[in-house]
């Protein structure tokens, strides 16, 4: 049992799919799964070139989400 909960902060590295493909020399993705709790549209908008090669896309959608 947690009696005195405290706020925990965590840093998370964030990269655009396009930047990772270029920096690491990966082939452009053909499948993309996005599960980011409501930020899926922002992820897609931040990937300008990668969606051109994607032929399968799975995005989690929650109708009660604010986004």
Express each pLDDT in 10-27 by its tens digit: 888 877 778 888 899 988
**CA 22/CA 63 separation, integer angstroms:** 34
Q: How buried is 31 (Cβ within 10 angstroms: 0-12 exposed, 13-18 middle, 19+ buried)? A: exposed
> Burial of 13 by CB count in 10 Å (0-12 exposed, 13-18 middle, 19+ buried)?
exposed
Residue 66 has pLDDT above 70, yes or no: no
Model pLDDT, residue 48: 66
- The domain spans of the chain are 29-67
18/43 Cα distance (integer angstroms) = 11
Q: Is the pLDDT at 56 greater than 60, yes or no?
A: yes
CA distance 56 to 34: 11
Confidence at 33, pLDDT banded by 50, 70, 90: confident
């Amino acid at each position: 049992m947690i009696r005195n909960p405290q706020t925990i902060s965590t840093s998370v590295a964030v990269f655009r799919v396009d930047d990772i493909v270029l920096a690491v020399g990966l082939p452009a993705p053909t499948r993309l799964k996005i599960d980011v709790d409501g930020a899926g549209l922002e992820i897609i908008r931040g990937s300008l070139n990668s969606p051109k090669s994607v032929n399968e896309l799975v995005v989690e959608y929650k109708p009660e989400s604010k986004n």
